[in-house]
Structure 1
Amino acid sequence: MSELEKKRVEKLLTAYCENKIPPDLREQIRIEYRIRGNEVSLFESRPHWQGGGEWISMKVARFKKDPKTETWQLYWADRNSKWRPYPPLPYHRDIEKLLQEVEKNETGAFWG
């Protein structure tokens, strides 16, 4: 992913994560993302149930850029935390369109 595209994706996901959870609940739940190469992972994080300041992250969605086709592929995490292609909309040229699909969550694959 180019630096320009990486900055665009960071801006998009930062805004998404900040707007997803109201400020007064951010000590109880957070939506976070990580970028690694051509992959972007979206996580839901909560404080560990035993306390101690540690947070536990659960996989929500993964977006993977295919440099050959210039498309983003969308994945969901199954009950064993394995990434699986998302059949209703497996890929799109615009990551924002896939993020909208995650937000709609019509199949229940992303947000439990």
Structure 2
Amino acid sequence: MALPESDVARVQRWCAARVPDNARDQVRIECELAQRHLTIVERRPPWHENLGPDWTTSAIARLRYNATDKSWTLYWTDQHQRFHLYDQLAPSRSIDDLLTEIDRDPTSIFWG
């Protein structure tokens, strides 16, 4: 089953709003889509010309969708880019609950 289109659009708008237009040449917050989850990532340009033109990508959070009960669960990523269940927030049918928790970041696990 595909992810709910309205939720995907909501996360994409949220990501776009995180960085002002005048800073997007330095950092971007984007959403990568998969069949059962969304991954919010931070992208940065190469800091040295020898690294080539590709931007680096670091995962911020993963939002996993459960089609059975139509809920979203939040995951955080460690320094090795492995995902772990974020146990400070129960699964929710509202994607906004997860985005609000990422914004609040009470444990400093998403934004540092």
Flag whether TM exceeds 0.5 (same fold): yes
Runs of 4+ residues deviating >2 angstroms: none
Alpha carbons 1:75, 1:90 under 8 Å: kept: no
Task: For 2:70 and 2:8, locate their aligned partners in 1 and report how far apart those are by CA, in whole Å.
Answer: 18
Equivalent residue of 1:10, what SS?
A: helix
* 1:18-72 deviations in Å (ceiling 9; x for gaps): 2110100000000010111111000011012223321001010001111222211
Structure 1 residue ranges without an equivalent (≥5): none
Alpha carbons 1:43, 1:60 under 8 Å: kept: yes
- Which residue of structure 1 aligns with residue 29 of structure 2? 31
Alignment of 1:39-50 (within 5 A): 39-50=37-48
TM-score calculated relative to the size of structure 1:
0.90
- Which residue of structure 2 aligns with residue 53 of structure 1? 53
Aligned CA RMSD, in angstroms, stands at 1.4
* Aligned partner letter, 1:17: C
Task: For 1:91 and 1:41, locate their aligned partners in 2 and report how far apart those are by CA, in whole Å.
Answer: 16
Structure 2 residue ranges without an equivalent (≥5): none
Q: Which has the higher strand share?
A: 1
TM-score calculated relative to the size of structure 2:
0.90
